Amino acid sequence: MIFFVVVVFLFSQNNFIMVNNMNLDFRDLPKGFDGFKIVQISDLHNKMFGSNQRRLVAKIKKAQPDVIFITGDMVDSRKYDAKPALILIDEIIDIAPIYYVTGNHEFRLAEFSFLMKEIEKRGVNVLRNSSEILEIDGDEMRIIGVDDPTTLGDMFDEEKNLAVSIDIAIGENEEGYFDLLLSHRPEYFPIYAESQMDLTFSGHAHGGQFRLPLIGGIIAPNQGLLPKYTAGVYTEGDSKMVVSRGLGNSIIPQRIFNRPELVVVTLYRGN
């Protein structure tokens, strides 16, 4: 009986998706975006949630997002399989516009160029150190996306890579927009805040893999033991960051008290 309970528990931790709804207020949010809803998908790592990703797709459809953000690691470089990611994109491309940034696992692939072409061919907006302007009723908001800093290799400092990537993405139009940044790595939140990003969406930490009450995540890539940024909303000055716990696994195959997460963020114009 105990063995059966343990097996069911472990299965649920890897396969039962949790929808995390967040309402975030911003004083400077343009009026046209009051009530704007974002679904964030991160760190799929080849994971399938039923035939044609039906369980994950159903939750995305139910959320009725205005836009979908994908913050990297849709595939796993250790066991490359593009089908789960491409199936998901095929199933959700008509729900809302999709914006995608790369994670570290994409850049490790020999098939990187092929994967990017397949994603773009499906109508996804791939942001590689670039930005796009969204407009509603004359009000504008900017979506900025940067490559994972591993793209430039170990010969350069990752913090410097990200700062340069953000500058390239912004270009000459530095001020005047409410900025949403998509960047895979949460550990560089101080850089995003220093770059005056209003709201950043990130992943990579897998929620700390194992989560404990009063402690939170136990271990995360590039942050080590007891990582600082693993899940939820973080604030530094006027800048906020949402970190998704992600959907799949990589090196460590099991989650504990850390079910796969679909993040739903609704933006509101605060006082």
Is position 4 within any domain? no
pLDDT of residue 271 exceeding 90: no
Is position 7 within any domain? no
pLDDT of residue 19 exceeding 90: yes
Is position 79 within any domain? yes
Is position 3 within any domain? no
Compute the mean pLDDT over every residue in the chain, rounded to the nearest whole number: 94
Domain span including residue 176:
20-269
pTM: predicted TM-score of the whole model, two decimal places: 0.96
**How many domains does the chain divide into?**
1
CA distance linking residue 195 with residue 243, whole number of Å: 18
Is position 2 within any domain? no
pLDDT of residue 154 exceeding 60: no
Q: What is the pLDDT of residue 172?
A: 75
CATH number at residue 217: 3.60.21.10
Long-range contacts of 212-215 (CB under 8 A, 24+ apart): 212/257
φ, ψ dihedrals at 129, nearest 5°? 55, 50
Is position 11 within any domain? no
Amino acid at 132: E
Is position 9 within any domain? no
Q: What is the pLDDT of residue 221?
A: 94
Is position 13 within any domain? no
DSSP string, 174-216: -SSSEEEEE-S-GGGHHHHHHTT-SEEEE--SGGGSBEETTTE
